[in-house]
Amino acid sequence: MDAIHLKEALGLLDNYIKSKDNTKEWEKLTVEQQNGIKEGIRQIQNNEGIPHSVVMEKNRNRYND
């Protein structure tokens, strides 16, 4: 998945999250979990994500060897 598709996916996820009242669910997460999610979002926004195709290829190779 290229940067444009990653940004679109992030936008969809962000819109979905904002449309839900997930305050209670968010508060159930540990601070470590919340920070991990925030870091993941930051990485995607900075184009530091790993494309889906790369992740899938790596895992296919790992489990098909």
CA distance 29 to 31: 6
CA distance 38 to 14: 12
Q: Name the residue ranges covered by the structural domains of the chain.
A: 3-64
C-alpha closest to that of 6 among 39, 53, 60:
53
**pLDDT tens-digit map of 3-56:** 777 777 777 777 777 776 667 778 888 999 989 988 888 888 898 888 888 888
2 confidence band (pLDDT: 50, 70, 90): low
**Residue 20's pLDDT is what?**
64
Q: CA–CA distance from 5 to each of 39, 40, 54, 58 (Å)?
A: 19, 16, 14, 20
